[in-house]
């Protein structure tokens, strides 16, 4: 009996080798197929990024070390002269470096309570409707909406209405306040949505646990809610701030175009004075600043929320 | 019972819209006891715990902690702490900061030396010394459980509330934690209130079990009382395994009642409430009170259908014609080897005081009996 079963085992072992080899072959086949599928799935996005992001970026880098052709445009060269010339636009840089963080901060201060209400206080069945109400205006172009604000804040808008009740000579348009208002209005959803998502994902039992351990509602908010929503806050903040680095439309329309920003400088250099190399150098600098903003924001949010690291770049 | 109860419910009712989760509960939990609130899901046990914690307000009645009415007192001013289901540890804080979270809220403020000293003691108490700087997500389920315990106990609450604390652990760890919780409670000497749907957990850990069903307290007693003397059919069925045999009251003899089963067999049973002649009853017979013998004596006869050998014991599913399937449990002694085989006819006997008769009227336990049998036989 025992010997018989042994011999069966041996023959089974003997038969195993080719079976293993076969499995290995078919596994390699399926791996190949899997890789091919991966390549096919990624191809459209890769192609898109290469054609519309990488190539233009490389072109800009090349432009930025070149020279302006006598009649405008680009002339091949290898010089850092354009970068050395950056201080010529120091005012525009300075104005942008003030506008971007201040605008993002104003946006944050308005967006956080809204996101908090939506995620933690609004009745469930109202949430989608309220979210839609926030997003829907953004289906029309920013230019049109900013023009609308020009009318609202302009002489025939709110000031005219206020004149009826006796408040005369109020100037709203072409003031820093108008620019800030326009920016907050224009970028609000970009700030609300990430904060909403992080608050919505917040485990409500953590709030109960905090209260259970003796924390007042205020210290629960500061110690738990705010801390755990920081990834959303930093995402929204860096998103808005980076977009504001290139913003020039709102300050031009609502601020009267008296203050120059990097965005204005770029439009001017590429379209009017046709100094492409200098414009490219400014653009590259702007990209570098954006990258720094992202890295810093990511560090802060990872440090403070204790979340596992999520790298944005 | 001269001492002020740690927790007292006075005619507490809790409604959510049209649904009544807890209806008119009166309950007093004595100091320094380990009490389990036991019941199926939806019986109101968690609602009761949350009303003690202050996360829910009673619609009617009062909840008192150490004699003080807690109406209008928010959770952060109550002298109780909770171990939450799935622990609810703060993911952005490390182990020590989680534990010292409550200490940091104390007013007047504690010095940071005092805080770290107490947090260290709490860590040592749950055998996690040296883990203070670990991240929460680096811990195993059992370790997270200990952190949650330490985080609650470090505040020296009057009462510790535990919401299904062991549900997320595997069986081996659960058994270890049961013993550990029991030891902790004795060491610290404060009242533990445990919510669980696991009757085994309730029986094994607590000094008192409060069985709840449909928003009411059905029975409050020591574990052995609950098991041996269930107040009604629901408790008999929910706590432990039992056989329920339906029949009719045939006669009375002293304190006992004679019940005629479906197949005509008459057995003598004890009763918990007055019964009338001819009333439909269910007789509860615990599997371990049944004894099996080769054909001969015994009042019930059947055929072994399944045998489940469990090492120290063996369980038998026995088909009794006219009555149905009965579960019997027999101790197994090494060398005795006298196991009955499937297909073998057996006689079933039981001790005189073992059967308990309950009126059948409006009882929800019968369905669960079917489930339980499926579980046993599968």
| Whether residue B208 has pLDDT greater than 50 | yes
A226 to chain B: nearest residue by CA?
Answer: B92
A24 pLDDT band, cuts 50/70/90, is low
- C-beta of residue B182 within 8 angstroms of C-beta of residue B34: yes
- Out of B81, B82, B88, the one facing A203 most closely (by C-beta) is B88
Quote the crossing angle between the two packed helices A176-200 and A90-116, to the nearest 10°: 50
| Residue in A closest to B82 by C-alpha | A212
Return the pLDDT at A137. 86
User: What is the average per-residue pLDDT within A17-27?
Assistant: 56
> Which among A215, A227, A307 has the least Cβ separation from residue B105?
A215
User: Comparing A20-29, B83-92, B207-216, which segment has the lowest mean pLDDT?
Assistant: A20-29
Q: What angle do CA B113, B116, B119 make, to 5 degrees?
A: 145
Residue A297: inside a domain, yes or no? yes
pLDDT digits (tens, 9 = 90+) for B93-104: 999 999 999 999
Query: Residue A117 gets which letter from DSSP?
Result: I
pLDDT of residue B376: 33
ipTM: 0.84
A51 and A104 together in one domain = no
Measured in degrees and rounded to the nearest 5, phi and psi for residue B352 equal -55, -45
Question: Which residues span the domain enclosing A186?
Answer: 87-305
Q: Are A42 and A186 part of one and the same domain?
A: no
The answer to whether residue A163 scores a pLDDT higher than 60 is yes
With contact defined as beta carbons under 8 Å apart, do A229 and A301 qualify? no
Is the pLDDT at B46 greater than 50, yes or no? yes
The counts of H helices and E strands in chain A are 14, 2
Task: Please check the confidence at residue A2 and state whether its pLDDT lies above 70.
Answer: no
Read off the DSSP letter of residue A138: G
Q: Quick check: is A75 in a domain?
A: no
Residue A123 sits in the same domain as residue A29: no
If asked whether residues A123 and A242 sit together in one domain, one would say yes
Q: Mean pLDDT of all residues in chain B?
A: 88
Band (B375; pLDDT cuts 50, 70, 90): very low
* Structural domain contains residue A273: yes
Residues 6+ apart with CB under 8 A from B4: B31, B66, B67
Evaluate whether residue A164 is within a structural domain.
yes
Show which of residues 300-319 on chain B sit within 8 Å of chain A, judged by CB atoms.
none
pLDDT single digits (tens) B242-252: 999 999 999 99
Which tokens in the block code for residue A45? 């996005």
Domain check: are A15 and A123 in the same one?
no
Q: Which residue has tokens 């001013």?
A: B77
Give the pLDDT band (50/70/90) at residue A51: very high
Q: Which tokens hold the place of A234?
A: 């930093």
Mutate one of B17, B56, B75 to test the A interface: name it (highest A CB count within 10 A). B75
Structurally, how many domains does chain A consist of?
2
Q: Is B371 on the interface with A (CB under 8 A)?
A: no
Q: How confident is the model at residue A6 (pLDDT cuts 50, 70, 90)?
A: very low
Residue % of chain A over a pLDDT of 90:
55
Q: Is B113 on the interface with A (CB under 8 A)?
A: no
Residues of A in contact with B102 (CB under 8 A): 213-214
The average pLDDT across A106-119 equals: 96
- The mean pLDDT of A68-76, rounded to a whole number, is 88
Domain co-membership, A131 together with A182: yes
Give the global pTM: 0.80
Predicted pLDDT at A58: 95
Do A60 and A172 share a domain, yes or no? no
CATH of residue A172: 1.10.3720.10
Q: Are residues A202 and A116 in the same domain?
A: yes
C-beta of residue B316 within 8 angstroms of C-beta of residue B304: yes
Pick the closest to residue A116 from A214, A208, A224, A211 (CA basis): A224
The nearest CA of chain B is from the CA of A304 a distance in Å of 7
With both helix axes pointing from N to C terminus, report the angle between A176-200 and A142-153 in degrees, rounded to the nearest 10: 130
Cα B74 to its chain centre, rounded Å, is 29
Q: Is it the case that residue A14 has pLDDT exceeding 70?
A: no
Do A23 and A134 lie in a common domain?
Answer: no
pLDDT value at position B322? 85
Give B238-377's CATH code, choosing from 3.30.43.10, 1.10.760.10, 2.40.50.140, 2.10.70.10.
2.40.50.140
Buried b (16+ CB within 10 A) or exposed e, B146-185: bbbbbbbbbbebbbbbbbbbbeebeeeebeebbebbbebb
Residue A220, pLDDT score: 96
Q: How far apart are CA B29 and CA B304, in angstroms?
A: 45
User: Is pLDDT of B370 > 80?
Assistant: no
- Please indicate, yes or no, whether residues A202 and A276 belong to a single structural domain of this protein: yes
Q: Does A207 have pLDDT greater than 90?
A: yes
- The answer on A134 and A278 residing in a single domain is yes
Candidates A210, A213, A217, A227: best to mutate against B (most CBs of B within 10 A) is A213
A chain contacts of residue B105, beta-carbon cutoff 8 Å: 213-216, 219
Q: Which of A271-280, B10-19, B256-265, B326-335 has the lowest mean pLDDT?
A: B326-335
Q: Mean pLDDT throughout B66-88?
A: 95
Assigned fold of B7-228: Rossmann fold (3.40.50)
B1 pLDDT higher than 90: no
**Quick check: A172 pLDDT over 60?**
yes
Domain ranges within chain B, ordered by starting residue: 7-228, 238-377
Q: Average pLDDT, whole number, for chain A? A: 86
Is residue A233 within 8 Å of A195, Cβ to Cβ? yes
Within a domain: A71: no
pLDDT at B336 over 90: no
Set of chain A residues whose Cβ sits within 8 Å of the Cβ of B92: 227-228, 304-307
Confidence band, pLDDT 50/70/90 cuts, at residue A26 = low
Q: Are residues A97 and A236 in the same domain?
A: yes
Identify each DSSP E strand in B168-272 by its residue range.
Answer: 191-196, 208-213, 216-221, 243-253, 256-261, 266-271
The phi-psi region of residue B362 (left if phi > 0; otherwise alpha if psi is between -120 and 50; otherwise beta) is left
Residue A97 has pLDDT above 80, yes or no: yes
Q: Please tell me the distance from the alpha carbon of residue B177 to that of residue B153, in angstroms, as a whole number.
A: 16
């Amino acid at each position: 009996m025992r010997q018989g079963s042994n011999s069966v085992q041996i023959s089974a072992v003997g038969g195993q080798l080719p079976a293993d080899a076969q499995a290995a072959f078919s596994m390699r086949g399926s791996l190949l197929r899997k890789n091919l599928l991966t390549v096919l799935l990624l191809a459209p996005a890769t192609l898109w990024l290469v054609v519309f992001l990488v190539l233009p970026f490389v072109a800009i880098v090349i432009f930025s070390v070149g020279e302006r052709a006598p009649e405008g445009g680009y002339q091949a060269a290898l010089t850092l002269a354009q970068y050395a010339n950056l201080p010529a636009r120091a005012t525009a840089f300075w104005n942008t470096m003030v506008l971007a963080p201040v605008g993002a901060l104003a946006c944050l201060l308005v967006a956080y309570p809204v996101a908090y209400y939506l995620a933690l206080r609004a009745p469930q069945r109202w949430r989608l409707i309220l979210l839609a109400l926030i997003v829907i205006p953004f289906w029309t172009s920013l230019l049109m909406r900013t023009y609308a604000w020009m009318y609202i804040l302009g002489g025939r808008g709110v000031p005219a209405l206020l004149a009826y009740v006796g408040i005369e000579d109020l100037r709203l348009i072409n003031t820093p306040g108008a620019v800030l208002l326009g920016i907050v209005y224009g970028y609000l959803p970009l700030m609300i949505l990430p904060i909403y998502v992080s608050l919505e994902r917040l485990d409500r039992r953590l709030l109960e646990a905090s209260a259970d351990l003796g924390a007042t509602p205020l210290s629960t908010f500061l110690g738990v809610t705010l801390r755990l929503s920081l990834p959303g806050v930093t995402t929204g903040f860096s998103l808005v701030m980076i977009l504001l680095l290139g913003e020039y439309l709102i300050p031009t329309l609502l601020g009267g175009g008296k203050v120059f920003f990097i965005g204005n400088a770029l439009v001017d250099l590429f379209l009017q004075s046709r100094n492409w190399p200098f414009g490219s150098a400014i653009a590259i600098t702007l990209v570098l600043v954006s990258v720094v903003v992202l890295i810093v924001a990511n560090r802060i949010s990872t440090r403070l929320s204790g979340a596992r690291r999520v790298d944005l770049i | 019972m001269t001492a002020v109860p740690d927790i007292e419910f006075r005619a507490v009712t809790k409604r959510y819209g049209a649904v009544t989760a807890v209806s008119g509960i009166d309950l007093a939990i004595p100091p320094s006891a380990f009490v389990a609130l036991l019941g199926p899901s939806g019986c109101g046990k968690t609602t009761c715990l949350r009303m003690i914690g202050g996360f829910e307000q009673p619609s009617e009645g009062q909840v008192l902690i150490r004699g003080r009415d807690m109406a209008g007192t928010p959770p952060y001013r109550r002298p109780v702490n909770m171990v939450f289901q799935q622990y609810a540890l703060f993911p952005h804080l490390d182990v020590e900061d989680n534990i010292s979270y409550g200490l940091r809220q104390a007013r007047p403020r504690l010095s940071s030396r005092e805080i770290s000293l107490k947090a260290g003691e709490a860590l040592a108490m749950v055998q996690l010394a040296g883990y203070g700087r670990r991240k929460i997500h680096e811990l195993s389920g059992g370790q997270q459980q200990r952190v949650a315990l330490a985080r609650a106990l470090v505040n020296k609450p009057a009462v510790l509330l535990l919401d299904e604390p062991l549900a997320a652990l595997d069986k081996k760890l659960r058994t270890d934690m049961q013993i550990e919780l029991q030891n902790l409670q004795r060491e610290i000497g404060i009242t533990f209130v445990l919510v669980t749907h696991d009757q085994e957990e309730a029986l094994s850990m607590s000094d008192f079990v409060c069985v709840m069903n449909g928003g009411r307290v059905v029975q409050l007693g020591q574990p052995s009382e609950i098991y041996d003397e269930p107040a009604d059919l629901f408790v008999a069925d929910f706590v432990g395994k039992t056989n329920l045999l339906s029949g009719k009251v045939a006669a009375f003899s002293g304190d006992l009642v004679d019940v005629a089963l479906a197949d005509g067999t008459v057995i003598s049973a004890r009763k918990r409430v007055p019964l009338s002649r001819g009333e439909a009853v269910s007789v509860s017979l615990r599997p371990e009170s049944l004894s099996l013998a080769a054909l001969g004596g015994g009042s019930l006869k059947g055929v072994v259908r399944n045998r489940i050998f469990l090492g120290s014991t063996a369980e038998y599913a026995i088909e009794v014609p006219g009555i149905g399937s009965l579960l019997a449990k027999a101790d197994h002694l090494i060398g005795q080897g006298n196991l009955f085989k499937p297909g073998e006819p057996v006689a079933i006997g039981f001790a005189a005081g073992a059967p308990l008769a309950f009126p059948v009227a409006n009882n929800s336990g019968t369905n669960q009996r079917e489930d339980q049998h499926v579980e046993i036989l599968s």
